[in-house]
Amino acid sequence: MQVLIIGAAGMVGRKLSERLVRDKALNGKSIDKLVLVDVVAPAQPAGFAGKVESVAADLSAPGKAEAMIAGRPDVIFHLAAVVSGEAEADFDKGYRINLDGTRALLEAVRKAGEGYHPKLAFTSSAAVFGAPFPEAIHDEFHLTPLTSYGTQKAIGELLLADYHRRGFLDGVGLRFPTICVRPGRPNKAASGFFSSIIREPLAGEEAVLPVPENVRHTHASPRSAVGFLVHAAGLTREALGNRINLTMPGVSCTVGEEIAALRRIAGDKVAARIRRESDPTIARIVGGWPQRLEGKRALALGFTAETSFDDIVRAHIEDELAGKIAA
């Protein structure tokens, strides 16, 4: 089996690569080749007996999608995207990467030749939804995004569903909640503070909180994000039916509850490293996102996530900090 990961240099892409190398198989089939693609060449994961090809390429550039599909990968994970804050700040770049790149990939699959029918898992986002919201977003809630990023992801979902319907591929779209706690340095995502107010204090650094503590959102850990993708790759066309875009489960909590979990696990000194500094732009973007995602269909199909924010904090400490908290 050959697996293609587009966006493999990103946090979720790296962790997915590591998981596949560790498992050595996907859907019960041995992985013979991993093709890892991003705008910078992804690092090759250690310990893989099969072939690994690391490629630096922009999916939206002419001819690049066709080159990625030339080897006819059996499973494609499409994780590449310009994140929310950057897509809002740079309109042209957001549409070029998030929409034109996705369309180029789908077209490359369609034109790859008779008999080619890969599994394609597409990472969408809860940003496809827009206010006003009910108390919880159910699986049939309409897509009315209030950001360019959310609009681009919503269009991607519709395209994926149509190419799936026409039989060009077996698609599944995953609407991720905010993935938290993200390791590494902050990116340009508007949601980045959800991670930074946990990650930086645990590492002994100050973090800035740009929104009020009563802001509520839904989260899942990087562990869960990788689990979503691996599980999605094994779902059959029959199990999914016509509604192939799924809202993933997660933990709904306020920023205040997030901080309380940090305090329970790491203590008052660590929690005190959070500095409140209002940012109206971030507050406006985040205020247009849903607060609670139900994800009932996903749960019924076997997707799993954490059930408390304490578990999300502990996962970060175990996976990224070797179990140690900075004094």
Q: What is the pLDDT of residues 131-165, one digit of tens each?
A: 889 989 999 999 999 899 999 999 999 999 999 99
* Residue 29 contacts residue 39 (beta carbons within 8 Å): no
> What is the model's pTM?
0.94
Active-site option among 95, 116, 149, 163: 149
Instruction: Note whether residue 184 is domain-resident.
Output: no
Looking at the structure, do residues 107 and 230 belong to the same domain, yes or no? yes
Looking at the structure, do residues 300 and 242 belong to the same domain, yes or no? no
Looking at the structure, do residues 160 and 98 belong to the same domain, yes or no? yes
Domain, as residue range, for 285: 192-217+251-320
Q: Which of 185, 181, 10, 168 is nearest to 97 (CA)?
A: 10
Is residue 242 helix, strand or coil? Answer: coil
222 against 291, higher pLDDT? 222
Looking at the structure, do residues 207 and 281 belong to the same domain, yes or no? yes
Which token pair is 248?
Answer: 């993933």
Strand 207-209 to strand 245-247: parallel, antiparallel, or no bridges (unpaired)? unpaired
Instruction: Note whether residue 186 is domain-resident.
Output: no
pLDDT of residue 13: 97
Omega within 30 of 0 (cis) for the link into 201: no
**CA 226-76-248 angle, 5° bins:** 40
Instruction: Note whether residue 159 is domain-resident.
Output: yes
**Sequence-ordered strand ranges (E) for the chain:** 2-6, 25-26, 29-30, 33-38, 51-56, 75-78, 119-125, 170-176, 178-179, 207-209, 216-220, 245-247, 251-254, 274-276
| Category of 132 on φ-ψ map: left (φ > 0), alpha (ψ -120 to 50) or beta | beta
Instruction: Note whether residue 325 is domain-resident.
Output: no
Residue 74 is classified by DSSP as: S
Looking at the structure, do residues 82 and 68 belong to the same domain, yes or no? yes
Looking at the structure, do residues 208 and 128 belong to the same domain, yes or no? no
For residue 314, give the CATH number of its domain: 3.90.25.10
Share above pLDDT 90 across residues of the chain, in percent, rounded to a whole number: 87
Q: Is the pLDDT of residue 16 over 90?
A: yes
Q: Is the pLDDT of residue 37 over 90?
A: yes
Q: What is the CA radius of gyration of the chain?
A: 19
Mean pLDDT of the chain: 95
Q: Is the pLDDT of residue 115 over 90?
A: yes
Looking at the structure, do residues 131 and 211 belong to the same domain, yes or no? no
pLDDT of residue 84: 82
Segment 165-177 shows an average pLDDT of: 97
Instruction: Note whether residue 161 is domain-resident.
Output: yes
Instruction: Note whether residue 283 is domain-resident.
Output: yes
Segment 250-268 shows an average pLDDT of: 97
Q: Is the pLDDT of residue 54 over 90?
A: yes
Residues in the chain: 327
Instruction: Note whether residue 187 is domain-resident.
Output: no
* Residue 150 contacts residue 285 (beta carbons within 8 Å): no
Q: What is the pLDDT of residues 299-311, one digit of tens each?
A: 999 999 999 999 9
pLDDT of residue 93: 97
Looking at the structure, do residues 197 and 126 belong to the same domain, yes or no? no
Looking at the structure, do residues 237 and 111 belong to the same domain, yes or no? yes
Looking at the structure, do residues 96 and 227 belong to the same domain, yes or no? yes
Q: Is the pLDDT of residue 187 over 80?
A: no
Question: In the chain, how many domains are there?
Answer: 2
* Residue 250 contacts residue 295 (beta carbons within 8 Å): yes
Confidence band, pLDDT 50/70/90 cuts, at residue 189: confident
Active site includes 95?
no
* Residue 21 contacts residue 51 (beta carbons within 8 Å): no
Looking at the structure, do residues 24 and 136 belong to the same domain, yes or no? yes
Is residue 229 helix, strand or coil? Answer: helix
Looking at the structure, do residues 162 and 134 belong to the same domain, yes or no? yes
